[in-house]
Amino acid sequence: MNKLLMMKAFTSVVTEGSFHKAADRMNLSPQLISKYVSQLESDLKTRLLTRTTRKINLTEAGHIYLQRCQQVLLDIEEMENSLTDLQNQVTGTLNISAPMSFGIHHLSAPIAAFQSRYPSVKVQLFLTDQKVDLLEANVDIALRIGHLKNSSLIGRKIAPIRMVTCASPQYLAEYGEPKTAEDLTQHRYLRYSYSEGRELTESWGEHSPFSEQNTQLVSNNGDILINAAIRHQGIAIQPTFLTYNAVARGELVVLEQFPLQMMGLYAVYPNRQFLASKIRHFIDFISGYYGELPYWDKPCDRHPSYTATVER
């Protein structure tokens, strides 16, 4: 039998002065209240109450137990209230994992805006392009780029991620602009190591135009590859959140003839029934921050090729 419920029944009987009034207060039957008190006395092996037809009195043991009961019930109530307050308050430390380049270029502003709205939240941002185990790494939220797959994690899409094939004008002038996938086999490729060719396979099937033979540079960081492309080292496949400034400056040209499958930026978190308020509020905040057309994909009038790509 539930010891906590027995304790509540006992204190209610003493407070209300009768089993019937205690039953009304707890929305239970008088018989059940009496059963709870009797079971409590049986468990304690001592009598707590003396009952007459008109009055209920506490025994000496009952006086001592009542004080302890009231303190225990008060402590439980205060503990539950504090947890409810914690659930409702946006406070504490928020541990976030995010892709390296995206975090450097596009997370400082939203995190600053979030903390301006919720100044009691401390953010610990861990940047890595590798997928971390959220529970093992004590991460509350992970921002991930790709396609959300079935897992034990819950995810919400934050923004669309467009991939583009690009190269510098000087590189294209020297080596020629490829028109077909077959042409790409003759060009130098700047490969992002963590993708392992997924963006190519999803767009061209198993017949990828790039291979180890024409890979010029491999890096686990997109900024390195963008800078190499700007320096005329080859063709890169990178997200528009990294290429948009170089395209706007005319340092890179988007090869429209090689469209790639759309991906997404997702906020993922462990499948928990009750989310802490800091997590829930950050997910709601970041979900509306970038919009359906993020600022890095806004049309650029000076570069029609880029505009055509992002508007598709």
My answer on whether 151 and 167 are in the same domain is no
My answer on whether 154 and 194 are in the same domain is no
> Where among 39, 68, 88 does a domain terminate?
88
User: Residue 99: which domain range?
Assistant: 92-161+264-297
Which of left, alpha, beta for 232 (phi over 0: left; psi -120 to 50: alpha)?
A: left
The share of the chain scoring above pLDDT 70, in percent, equals 85
Whether residue 128 is contained in a domain is answered as: yes
The encoded tokens of residue 238 equal 């990178």
Determine the pLDDT at residue 82: 62
Determine the pLDDT at residue 96: 96
Q: How confident is the model at residue 18 (pLDDT cuts 50, 70, 90)?
A: confident
CA-nearest of 183, 286, 171, 288 to 234 is 171
Determine the pLDDT at residue 214: 84
> Where among 58, 88, 118 does a domain terminate?
88
My answer on whether 111 and 235 are in the same domain is no
Q: pLDDT (tens digit, 9 = 90+) per residue, 32-74? A: 999 999 998 899 899 999 887 678 888 989 888 888 888 888 7
My answer on whether 152 and 176 are in the same domain is no
My answer on whether 268 and 141 are in the same domain is yes
My answer on whether 169 and 290 are in the same domain is no
> Where among 28, 54, 88 does a domain terminate?
88
Determine the pLDDT at residue 272: 58
* 3-state SS, one letter per residue, for the chain: CCHHHHHHHHHHHHHHCCHHHHHHHHCCCHHHHHHHHHHHHHHHCCCCEEECCCCEEECHHHHHHHHHHHHHHHHHHHHHHHHHHHHHCCCEEEEEEECHHHHHHHCHHHHHHHHHHCCCEEEEEEECCCCCCCCCCCCCEEEEEECCCCCCEEEEEEEEECEEEEECHHHHHHHCCCCCHHHHCCCCEEEEHHHCCHHHHHHHCCCCCCCCCCEEEEECCHHHHHHHHHCCCCEEEEEHHHHHHHHHCCCCEECCCCCCCCEEEEEEEECCCCCCHHHHHHHHHHHCCCCCCCHHHCCCCCCHHHHHHHHC
Determine the pLDDT at residue 2: 85
**What's the CATH code of the domain at 41?**
1.10.10.10
Whether residue 307 is contained in a domain is answered as: no
Q: How confident is the model at residue 311 (pLDDT cuts 50, 70, 90)?
A: very low
Whether residue 145 is contained in a domain is answered as: yes
User: Number of structural domains, the chain?
Assistant: 3
My answer on whether 154 and 274 are in the same domain is yes
Q: What is the mean pLDDT of residues 144-157?
A: 78
Whether the full predicted model's pTM is greater than 0.75, yes or no, is no
Whether residue 305 is contained in a domain is answered as: no
Q: pLDDT (tens digit, 9 = 90+) per residue, 83-110? A: 665 556 788 899 999 999 999 999 999 9
My answer on whether 132 and 52 are in the same domain is no
Whether residue 231 is contained in a domain is answered as: yes
User: How far is the C-alpha of 124 from the C-alpha of 96, rounded, in Å?
Assistant: 6
Whether residue 311 is contained in a domain is answered as: no
Inter-CA distances, 17 with 10, 20, 21, Å: 10, 9, 7
Q: pLDDT (tens digit, 9 = 90+) per residue, 110-125? A: 999 999 999 989 999 9
My answer on whether 174 and 50 are in the same domain is no
My answer on whether 172 and 240 are in the same domain is yes
My answer on whether 27 and 155 are in the same domain is no
The number of beta carbons lying within 10 Å of the beta carbon of residue 122 is 12
Q: Could you tell me which residues come within 8 angstroms of residue 106 by beta carbon, excluding any fewer than 6 positions away? A: 241, 290, 296
**What's the CATH code of the domain at 292?**
3.40.190.10
My answer on whether 179 and 234 are in the same domain is yes
Determine the pLDDT at residue 153: 73
The encoded tokens of residue 171 equal 């590189």
Whether residue 309 is contained in a domain is answered as: no
Q: How confident is the model at residue 81 (pLDDT cuts 50, 70, 90)?
A: low
Whether residue 310 is contained in a domain is answered as: no
